[in-house]
Homo-oligomer: A and B are copies of this chain.
Amino acid sequence: MFYFGADYYPEQWPQERWPEDARLMKAAGFNVVRLAEFAWSKMEPSEGKFDFNWLDRALKTLHDQGIVALLGTPTASPPPWLMTNHPDIFRLREDGLRVTYGNRCEYCPNHPTYHDFTRRIVTALAEHYADHPEVIGWQIDNEMGNRCYCPVCRSKFQDWLKVRYGTLEKMNAVWGTEFWSHIYTDWTQIPVPLATGGSPNPGLALDFRRFISDSYVAYQQMQVDLLREACPDHLITHNFMGFGYEGLNYYDLARTLDLVSWDDYPAGFWLKDRRVTEPEALALGHDTMRGLKHQNFWVMEQQAGPSGWEIVSPTPRPGELRLWAYQSIAHGADGIVFFRWRTARYGTEQYWHGLLDHHGLPGRRYEEIKQMGAELKKVGAAIQGSSVKARVAILQSYDSRFAFQIQPNNPSFQYSEHVTHVYHALFNRNIAVDVISPQADMSNYMLVIAPALHVLDEAVAARLEQYVQAGGTLVLTPRSGVKDEANAVVNLPLPGLLAEVCGITVAEYDSLSADISQSVKFIASGLKKLGTCAARVWCDILEPAGAQVLAAYTADYYAGRPAITLNQYGKGQAVYVGTFGDVSLYQALFGWLVLKLNIPPVLNAPEGIEVAERWQGDRRLLFVLNHTNAPQKVSLPNGYINLMDGKVSHGEETIPGRDLVILASPSESAG
């Protein structure tokens, strides 16, 4: 069964309305809801007094229409009585100010009192719903991740450091606290990196981010344990925030969950200069979420309308909600839950629109998703159990992202933008990509790209070396291998532990100001046709030590010096790209590389058409998505079956703007 539904808040509407909502949901083909995510006030109206009657009634009303539920543990928003009685639970912000009541996520993740209250409500919920057939699983909390700097966290951070380093001598050594006279002689002296403390020691700052990540992981694990105990057969997930969020180590947060789910808002916030997120950025979000556990995922909040808090985003154009939801499926979603069912008339998210407007009458958006519900009845079985297969991986490192948050290196550098450029070049060629942890198994990939792998420990360096040794192709970009685990700069020529595998060292580097014009020209024989591409942000001037020079700089005092190199190493090879660049640089380079490595695209298609695939055993499913507003002609493979209308494809077909086709390979053939 493909899970299809909406996030629903019955507590925000009169009970008399519930049957109508359930009826409309069923009519739209819905079979699942997420419920009770922010309902602590309703579940525990005063300390220790629990009330699940209203929720039982809501679940029943829905179940009568064949709809099951995932329940949210309500800990993302504690009730007023709790926070009034225990004001020391409020988070302390980086600027040194205490959060006050009025929004959500105001809690310190390490506070023992909050842990106590969490245990009680989660236990009560879990025990109550352990045997309710309407409930199939749980979402823990909501979009976790605000850093807290309170005295409790400071003390826990000191404990965490004790465990990590054992002795102050070790910690002082790896942080290099001789700098600026910061040698700590007692664990209690160690501060948290408040903004009032100024630019911190990079080692301390990175460890604090790791500590906060571990704090949320532990807070979630406490809930996981309680739920597993009471409801061993239920699914457990958390709603993640995609590729763009970098406050927590998502690999750690996903580890013990059954399932990753995430919140996909292509037009979710107000976007400067563009109305919606570009399709490649959405695709990167999906592939990153799929990579957290290397398995299919859900979209727990799929955009349902204009969104915003104090402001309202542009409205999704006709077809977009459906197209975005199918894109989620194309990249591995096994469940689509729209946020939200009906737009709230009250509260901070008054303008975060659901499928229904405030007035509750079905309109354009509801009808569009209702159509999709009908389609899924035809398509669902084919999707069932299918998954994405990729031969190319991008390594994504939260340690590196934390380090770049602390020291961006260049005012124009953004890790997320850089990775998006790299990904975009592959997306444009319809090449399937896995976005994985540097700790993940790389042996199945023909090509591994490690963009700006800034923080690099010896184990990962060794595994990358082995990957190349064994025949893999590795691509590195600037600022890789610069930092050790403690966020200290390595005591080696760059790229440090990867210099040998790359067959180069970095002789000098130049951090570019935005007004400087620099570029790289491909000069290796056979590559000259790739021409010249703009260089941006950073230039490593390379000193080959065995590597072949693919491209050289064109300007300034290092004109003619090596910019991109290729090194044969063991049975494999390593490409070092010495500068950041726009998508065009990576398109040129990868265009050549995938040809050389014989990595085919899913399908050749015009610009604006995305083609993704899932495999159901040997059966290949093609999702051909037209992200443009105009009809596009696409050459489809012969003999594939269009799953919506059952017709067999034969060459060129026209796909309307913001529309798609889903094809399945003929059942007798393998892809």
Residues of A near any B CB (own CB < 8 A): 9, 11-12, 38-42, 45-46, 74, 77-81, 84, 93, 95-104, 106, 175-186, 188-191, 193-194, 196-204, 270-271, 273-275, 306, 308-315, 317-318, 343-351, 358-361, 363-364, 406-411, 488-493, 507-513, 515-516, 556-557
The complex places the Cα of A345 from the Cα of B271 at a distance, in Å, of 39
Identify the closest chain B residue to A43 (Cβ): B181
Neighbouring B residues of A189 by C-beta, 8 Å: 80-81, 84, 101
Question: For A80, A179, A194, A516, which residue has the most chain B Cβ atoms within 10 angstroms?
Answer: A179
The complex places the Cα of A275 from the Cα of B557 at a distance, in Å, of 14
The answer to whether A201 touches B407 (Cβ under 8 A) is no
Instruction: Please name 5 pairs of A and B residues whose Cβ atoms are closer than 8 Å in the assembled complex, sorted by A.
Output: A38-B179, A84-B189, A176-B346, A200-B348, A310-B408
Which residue of the partner chain, among B45, B188, B317, B348, contacts A179 with CB atoms under 8 Å? B348
Q: How far is the CB of A102 from the nearest CB of chain B, in Å?
A: 3
The complex places the Cα of A176 from the Cα of B42 at a distance, in Å, of 12
The answer to whether A270 touches B103 (Cβ under 8 A) is no
Neighbouring B residues of A364 by C-beta, 8 Å: 507-508
Neighbouring B residues of A410 by C-beta, 8 Å: 311-312
Neighbouring B residues of A201 by C-beta, 8 Å: 102, 346-348
The answer to whether B180 touches A77 (Cβ under 8 A) is yes
Which residue of the partner chain, among B9, B78, B93, B314, contacts A513 with CB atoms under 8 Å? B314
Q: How far is the CB of A148 from the nearest CB of chain B, in Å?
A: 13
Neighbouring B residues of A273 by C-beta, 8 Å: 513, 515
Q: How far is the CB of A16 from the nearest CB of chain B, in Å?
A: 13
Q: How far is the CB of A427 from the nearest CB of chain B, in Å?
A: 24
The answer to whether A196 touches B488 (Cβ under 8 A) is no
The complex places the Cα of A271 from the Cα of B516 at a distance, in Å, of 12
Identify the closest chain B residue to A493 (Cβ): B359
Neighbouring B residues of A42 by C-beta, 8 Å: 178, 181, 183
Q: How far is the CB of A177 from the nearest CB of chain B, in Å?
A: 7
The answer to whether A311 touches B80 (Cβ under 8 A) is no
The answer to whether B41 touches A358 (Cβ under 8 A) is no
The answer to whether A196 touches B270 (Cβ under 8 A) is no
Neighbouring B residues of A190 by C-beta, 8 Å: 80
The answer to whether B101 touches A197 (Cβ under 8 A) is yes
The complex places the Cα of A411 from the Cα of B199 at a distance, in Å, of 29
The answer to whether A80 touches B184 (Cβ under 8 A) is yes
Identify the closest chain B residue to A538 (Cβ): B312
Q: How far is the CB of A45 from the nearest CB of chain B, in Å?
A: 7
Identify the closest chain B residue to A190 (Cβ): B80
The answer to whether A81 touches B185 (Cβ under 8 A) is yes
Q: Which 10 A-B pairs have the closest CB atoms?
A: A176-B346, A179-B347, A102-B197, A103-B198, A41-B183, A80-B189, A312-B511, A41-B181, A77-B181, A101-B191
The answer to whether B511 touches A315 (Cβ under 8 A) is yes
Which residue of the partner chain, among B100, B311, B347, B511, contacts A408 with CB atoms under 8 Å? B311
The answer to whether A199 touches B508 (Cβ under 8 A) is no
Q: How far is the CB of A59 from the nearest CB of chain B, in Å?
A: 17
Q: A311-B410, A345-B491, A350-B488 are in contact. List 12 more A-B contacts (CB 8 A).
A: A41-B178, A46-B185, A74-B181, A78-B181, A80-B184, A100-B191, A101-B189, A101-B191, A102-B204, A310-B406, A314-B512, A343-B489
The answer to whether B348 touches A194 (Cβ under 8 A) is no
Which residue of the partner chain, among B100, B184, B203, B512, contacts A196 with CB atoms under 8 Å? B100
The answer to whether A407 touches B311 (Cβ under 8 A) is yes
Identify the closest chain B residue to A99 (Cβ): B196
The complex places the Cα of A592 from the Cα of B484 at a distance, in Å, of 62
Neighbouring B residues of A317 by C-beta, 8 Å: 556-557
Given known contacts A346-B202, A364-B508, A9 and B315 CB-to-CB distance under 8 angstroms: no
Q: How far is the CB of A288 from the nearest CB of chain B, in Å?
A: 25
Q: How far is the CB of A98 from the nearest CB of chain B, in Å?
A: 6
The answer to whether B511 touches A411 (Cβ under 8 A) is no
The answer to whether B102 touches A191 (Cβ under 8 A) is yes
The answer to whether B99 touches A175 (Cβ under 8 A) is no
